[in-house]
Each structure stands twice: as C-alpha cells, then as structure tokens.
Structure 1
Amino acid sequence: MKRTELLQEIRKMWFEEAYGGWEAGRLTQVEAASLLGVCERTFRRYLSWYEEGGMEG
C-alpha cells in the first residue's frame, strides 16, 4: 500500500469516528470538525457527501 493510500484510509477512519460521535450526540459539529482539523463548514460538506455516497462520496 502506498503512503498516500494509507493516509487516505487513516483520514476515512478519523471521519468515521467523528461522524459516529456527532451522530450519537457525543460531539457537536464544531468538536467533530476540530478533531478532523477542518472548519465546521467543511465538516458539514463531508456530512453531505457521506450521506449521499457513503465513504466513496
């Protein structure tokens, strides 16, 4: 596995953790975004893409 592929998989795992925390009500959107190192608006975009196309979105 190439380094870039590995990093992408790690980012996916982080997103799944942040999404799970947000969905369960343990995290706010701001907190989840902070864990990912992005702004709240970007996290909302990620949510939209994820809900439309799953992890491939």
Structure 2
Amino acid sequence: MMVDNFKDMALQSDPAAQHRIIESADLFRGTNEIMIRHDGLVYRLKITRQGKLILNK
C-alpha cells in the first residue's frame, strides 16, 4: 500500500505547514508516463530524457 511511502514534512519558513511528499518512482513504477484524472479531465505526466517532469492536458 502506498500510504507507507507518504511523508509529512514541515517547511522551514512555516513550521505549521504540512506537505505530503511522494516519490516519483512510486507514481511511475518503471514507466516514463502516467495519466492523471483531475476534476473530470485527464492529464499526462511525463518524465523527459533529461529527467524533468512535464504535465500536459
């Protein structure tokens, strides 16, 4: 279960703020591209050859 991979991390500038960190390897699971459904629309999240992330509608 992926819940174990989620970590809460406080920002140094705002100790009260909490953010969930998800490793990209956990999302992509060995592929270079995933589809994300958000608010009824499908987005493509891709890892480029240079290791950058690109999100397209």
- Does the TM-score normalized on the shorter chain lie above 0.5? no
Structure having the higher Rg: 2
> TM-score scaled by structure 2?
0.31
Larger relative helix fraction: 1
Larger relative strand fraction: 2
> TM-score scaled by structure 1?
0.31
